[in-house]
Amino acid sequence: MILESILPPERTLFGVAGGSKKRVLEFFSTFIAQNTPSLDSQEVFGRLIGRERLGSTGIGNGVAIPHARNPHCKEPIAGFLRLQEPIDFDATDGDPVDLIFVLLVPEEADDAHLSLLAQVAAIMNDSAIRTKLRQAQTQRQLYDTLIEAIRQHDNSAN
């Protein structure tokens, strides 16, 4: 599964208002439900929050990767949010989070979906990429940086 193909430009959101973890996940759920008609915002939100209850998906360095399975999701869906202000996410290192990569996968989870999650984690583990994402000035720039990082990672992985 190619990560690039499931993250179109319109799902890369620049300067999202923060507030709290709950508000941001709510915002994304509403957004993705409008973007992808088959999804129900309440259900997306419920599943993402359910996953957070097992342990925060804030992986440190100001990054969170919320992820969940969804029955109405036919293909994996990715979304990226850069927040205006970092928010508290109960991350492992305690730092507030401003880069959020959301991943929704179909109910029938398989290895391909885990591999997607691992790819996202590897990309967001790179401090140079994080710095570039934080320096991006426009939505377009943010998207280009992200896609470039994904391609770079694909090349180095193969």
Partner 1 sequence: MDTINSLFLFSGFLIALSIVASRVSSRIGVPLLVLFLGLGMMAGEEGVLGIEFDDYSLAYLIGHLALAMILLDGGLRTRLKTFRVGLKPALCLATLGVFVTSGLVGLMATWIFDLSWVEGLLVGAIVGSTDAAAVFSMLSGQGVTLNERVGATLEIESGTNDPMAIFLTITLAEVLVSGASGVGHTLMTFVSQFGLGLLVGVGGGWLAAKLLRWLDLASGLYSLLALASGFFIFGLTSAAGGSGFLAIYLAGLMIGNQPGRHLTHILPVHDGLAWLSQIGLFLVLGLLVTPSEMIDYAIPGAVLALGLIFVARPLAVLVSLKPFFNFRWRELGFISWVGLRGAVPIVLAIFPVIAGVENATLYFNVAFFVVLMSLLMQGASLARVARWMRVEVPAGTTPNRRGALGVLPENDYEMFVYKVENEALEDVPIRLLRFPSGALISGLFRKHTMLHAKGSTRLKLGDVICVIGRSEDLPALNRLFNGDATLKRERAFFGTFTLDGEAVMSDVADAYGLTLSAGEQNMTLGEFVSLRVGGHPVVGDDVDWHGFHWVVNAVEGNRVTRVGLRLYH
Strand partners, 102: 79
User: Is 144 near partner 1 (CB under 8 A)?
Assistant: no
Site for partner 1 in 59-98 (CB under 8 A): 59-61, 65, 68-69, 92-95
Strand partners, 68: 104
Structure tokens belonging to residue 131: 């710095």
| Cα 37 to Cα 40: distance, rounded to the nearest angstrom | 8
Residue 67 annotated among the catalytic residues of the structure:
yes
Return the amino acid letter for 84. Answer: Q
Shortest distance, position 140 Cβ to partner 1, whole Å: 28
Strand partners, 58: 64
Structure tokens belonging to residue 53: 């209850």
Site for partner 1 in 92-131 (CB under 8 A): 92-95, 107-109, 111, 114-115, 117-119, 121, 125, 127
Interaction site with partner 1 (CB under 8 A): 47, 50-51, 53-57, 59-61, 65, 68-69, 92-95, 107-109, 111, 114-115, 117-119, 121, 125, 127
